[in-house]
Amino acid sequence: MTDLKRQLGEAVEAAFAAVGAPAGVGRVTVSDRPDLADFQSNGAMAAAKALGKPPRDIAQAVVERLAGDPRLAGVDIAGPGFINLKVADAFIAARAQAIADDPRTGAERLAAPRRVMIDYAGPNVAKPMHVGHLRSSILGESLKRLYRFRGDEVLGDAHFGDWGYQMGLLIGAVCDENPAIAAEVARLNAAPDADLDQIVETFETVTLADLDRLYPEAAAKGKADPDYRDRARKLTAELQAKAPGAYILWRRFARVTRVALERDFASLGVTFDLWKGESDADPLIPAMVEDLDAKGLLVDDQGARIIRVARQGDKRELPPLLVVSSEGSAMYGTTDLATILDRKQSFDPQFTIYAVDQRQTDHFEIVFRAAYMAGYAPEGALEHVGFGTMNGTDGKPFKTREGGVLKLGDLIEMTREKARERLHEAKLGEDLSPEAFEDIAAKVAVAALKFADLQNYRGTSYVFDLDRFMSFEGKTGPYLLYQAVRVKSLLRRAEAEGVTPGPITIGEPAERDLALTLDAFEAALAEAYDKKAPNALAEHAFRLAQAFSKFYAACPIMGAEPAVRSSRLALATTMLRQLELALDLLGIATPERM
Ligand code: ARG
């Protein structure tokens, strides 16, 4: 059984067609005036233009055709020709029952699933993650879950930044600080047959803290001092040529960083199917460059090799893709192009989403155009799903009080601390064991961060305000978890008393509203999917909690007579399942109690 909106949409569309209106005008939307109607259609206005008749006359003819439909309790005309539809209670009850009986609570499956690759998080070796990476992780994780849930075959890839100039900077900085490491690098570089997978004791002394400390200094020196920069570039080229010393040391950097990152991602409820690095695309580059050359796409430009991607009619001039720099090294864009090829060979995705900061829009436009020109992906199969920034109260991308980049691990700890405080204030979870309390605090923290992010349309920037994010009231993650936990405890009580859910009937307005809200799930999923915008789903979760809250206040459950009681219990059970499902698709887990 499809959702009410779509079913009514088809009926209204057919009625419009019968009076001669062009296809598509009869679109049905949720009513702007819920006090008057459940759904509405503004099609008479559009049809009036096409048919040259007054809109009210057209609306009248459409209404007459709809009048006998048993699914409708009322259909009338408002203002210049708005058609208002009120759904019959029995029909709402039947739909609610179908949702209750469906393990997916009314969510459909895609008719034509695709293989979809999602590129998100994009953390880098040594460079600390900033808020852009946080937003990417939250958005990408949600899209991965949503796309998979609707039926696509999805792979999520972390696209680890492990291969650029910053690697040369780090190799140099570590060697400068530690002569023993420098000597070992030199010794291994002179041994061309050295095993590249070996573990070298001296290198194992390098820790993440060392990299964190050395990288910012080295980056600053590289900016200020051309000689230092040249050396870093040379070391990068050495690494990319797999000089054993540079390469084995680099593997240590990548390993220590990855361990720490995976731990942080896990606490955030973010996981990847693939943890590929930019370095994994490197072996494909020589053949790719040859292929691009054979296709006549490469142009020599002052010693570098580029692809011109500008098109006639572009609003701004797009720079070319730099494929091989004048020093002969592969660039960020080269790696992205080779990664497209790599993914084509291993998974052949029909669609690829890059959940990356809006500030990289040009980069992706350039890479995508080059990929289409080279035939590495069909036109339109690559999409940059950009997002705005998370700002501090100063309106600039969020920084710590000391002005540094906030590290993900610190952010998580800070958020958990706030969650513990709030739980204590609200006297929640205090009767539980310390482990159980900590688990709840962790879930509340993740819910607060993720919901605060995902409730905004991704293109919008928002202000980081932990106090607001963490409130148990208002449109927040903790509020939604609290509502879900309340229902869980209600259901436990019902179970203990032997009360079971039964057939759904609709009597009270609050029952009606709750059922109509349950019905809107599929539309929210479709919108979030089509627009790559989980905020539609976040909005739905919030509306559901609100509708439940009103229902719970107006409609006693345990005290009602048996048939009503079991119907209401069925509504509550279904709402909880749908809410948990929606939250899960946002990447948010719900505790059992609080
Ligand atoms: N590592 C990059 C950065 O920190 C983000 C990677 C985004 N993904 C991609 N395929 N380029 O800016």
Whether residue 311 sits in one domain with residue 207:
no
CB 349 within 8 A of CB 144: no
pLDDT of 327 over the 90 cut: no
Encode pLDDT of 522-546 as tens digits.
999 999 999 999 999 999 999 999 9
Give the model's pLDDT for residue 565.
97
What's the mean pLDDT in 451-464? Answer: 96
**Does residue 466 sit in the same domain as residue 574?**
yes
User: CB of 159 closer than 6 A to ligand 1?
Assistant: yes
Q: Are residues 189 and 155 in the same domain?
A: no
Structure tokens at 533: 């915008």
Q: What tens digit of pLDDT does each residue of 337-387 get?
A: 999 999 999 999 999 999 999 999 999 999 999 999 999 999 999 999 999
Where does a domain end: 87, 103, 133?
Answer: 87
Query: What is the CATH number for 432?
Result: 1.10.730.10
User: Token pair for residue 14?
Assistant: 């057919």
Q: How far apart are CA 537 and CA 585, in angstroms?
A: 8
**What are the E-state strand segments in 363-456?**
382-385, 390-391
Q: Which of 54-63, 127-136, 210-219 has the lowest mean pLDDT?
A: 127-136
Does residue 375 sit within a domain? yes
Q: Is 120 in the pocket of ligand 1 (CB under 6 A)?
A: no
pLDDT at 405 over 80: no
- Domain membership flag for residue 114: no
User: Is 216 within a domain?
Assistant: yes
CA of 212 to the centre of ligand 1 (A): 19
Give the chain's mean pLDDT.
95
Mutate to test the pocket of ligand 1, among 125, 136, 157, 159 (most ligand atoms within 8 A of CB): 159
| pLDDT number for residue 130 | 76
Amino acid identity of residue 475, one-letter, is K
Cβ 356 under 6 angstroms from ligand 1: yes
Spatial CA neighbour of 573 closest among 108, 1, 102: 102
Is the predicted pLDDT of residue 403 greater than 70, yes or no?
no
Residue 426 is assigned to a structural domain of this protein: yes
Q: 393 in a domain, yes or no?
A: no
Report how far ligand 1's centroid is from the alpha carbon of 132 (Å): 10
Q: How confident is the model at residue 164 (pLDDT cuts 50, 70, 90)?
A: confident
7 Cβ neighbours under 8 A, 6+ residues apart: 1, 71
Q: What atom in ligand 1 is closest to the CA of residue 123?
A: 1
Alpha carbon of 122 to ligand 1 centroid (Å) = 5
Over 90: is that where the pLDDT of 180 sits?
yes
Q: What is the mean pLDDT of residues 432-459?
A: 97
How confident is the model over 248-271, as pLDDT tens digits?
A: 999 999 999 999 999 999 999 999
Quote the domain boundaries for residue 372: 119-160+273-384
Residue whose CA lies nearest to ligand 1 atom number 5: 122
Q: Do 567 and 451 belong together in one domain?
A: yes
Domain C-terminal end among 339, 357, 384 = 384
**Same-domain check for residues 298 and 262:** no
Look at residue 331 and tell me if it is in a domain. yes
Average of pLDDT values for 223-241? 94
What is the domain-level CATH number for residue 360? Answer: 3.40.50.620
Q: What is the pLDDT of residue 330?
A: 84
Domain boundary among 337, 361, 384: 384
pLDDT at 473 over 70: yes
**Interval between CA 136 and ligand 1 midpoint (Å):** 10
| Chain segment 7-29, per-residue pLDDT in tens | 999 999 999 999 999 998 989 99
Pocket-testing residue among 133, 137, 364, 383, ligand 1, by greatest number of atoms within 8 A of Cβ: 133
What tokens appear for 39 in the block?
Answer: 């759904």
Q: Is the CB of 453 under 6 A from ligand 1?
A: no
284, 356: one domain: yes
Is the pLDDT reported for residue 44 higher than 90? Answer: yes
Report the number of distinct structural domains present in the chain: 4
pTM of the entire predicted model: 0.95
pLDDT tens digits for range 102-139? 999 999 999 999 999 999 999 999 877 777 899 999 99
What secondary structure does DSSP assign to 182-251, as a single string? HHHHHHHHT-TT--TT---HHHHT--HHHHHHHHHHHHHHHHH-HHHHHHHHHHHHHHHTT-HHHHHHHH
In a domain, residue 290? The reply is yes
Statement to judge: residues 332 and 359 lie in one domain: yes
Q: How far is CA 431 from CA 423, 427, 590, 594, in A?
A: 12, 9, 18, 9
Note whether 242 and 284 are same-domain residues.
Answer: no
State in Å: Cα 126 to ligand 1 middle.
Answer: 14
CB 161 within 8 A of CB 261: no
| 178 plus 302 within the same structural domain | no
Q: Is the CB of 124 under 6 A from ligand 1?
A: yes
Kindly report the CATH number assigned to the domain that includes residue 48.
3.30.1360.70
On whether both 441 and 567 belong to a single domain, the answer is yes
Separation between Cα atoms, residue 569 and residue 497, nearest integer Å: 12
Whether the Cβ atoms of residue 461 and residue 135 lie closer than 8 Å to each other: no
pLDDT tens per residue across span 81-99: 999 999 999 999 999 999 9
Residue nearest to atom 3 of ligand 1 (CA): 122
153 and 174 in a single domain? The answer is no
pLDDT at 394: 86
Same-domain check for residues 283 and 134: yes
Kindly state if the Cβ of 335 falls inside 6 Å of ligand 1. no
Within a domain: residue 48?
yes
* Closest residue CA from atom 8 of ligand 1: 122
